Amino acid sequence: MTDRGLHQGLGRDERLRKRSEFLRAQARGRRCSGRHLVVYAMARTGEAEAQGARLGITVSKRVGGAVLRNRVKRWVRESYRKLSFPKTRPADLVVIAKPSAAASSYRVIDTELRQLLLSIEKP
């Protein structure tokens, strides 16, 4: 049996979509940097607290052409989707890919994202 037709991506409520949301998380959030990725995490309060975690991904043209940028975004999204990270916690997460991310692999990105999210959770 295949997974064809099943939606396994991130829904609208699970993503950052506005530039202002990205900028707010980068300005107010905790920063953790790795070899290929930078993660910002900002806890949300008030009405937004009812929602779970939201993810935003930034991959600039310095990483490479559109094919490489989209590949890196897919790797980050899939890695985040499969995480056992508590996605019910109200937080905005911004993941920024460094240029070196294009030369790595899914497994490397997956491992690094897990490590960064664990380290950003520590007080």
- CATH entry, 12-121, from 3.20.20.10, 3.30.230.10, 3.40.190.10, 3.20.20.70: 3.30.230.10
* Residue 7: predicted pLDDT: 60
Question: Across-strand partners of 38?
Answer: 33, 96
**pLDDT value for 10:** 79
First to last CA, the chain: 44
Q: What pLDDT score does 113 carry?
A: 95
pLDDT means per 10 residues, the chain with 123 residues, are 60 90 95 96 73 90 96 94 72 95 96 92 71
**pLDDT for the residue 98:** 97
Half-sphere exposure of 1 (CA within 13 A, CB side): 2
So where are the chain's domains?
12-121
Q: Cα-flanking dihedrals φ and ψ of residue 96, to 5°? A: -110, 125
pLDDT at position 88, please? Answer: 58
pLDDT at position 84, please? 64
Dihedral sign, CA of 72, 78, 79, 81?
Answer: positive
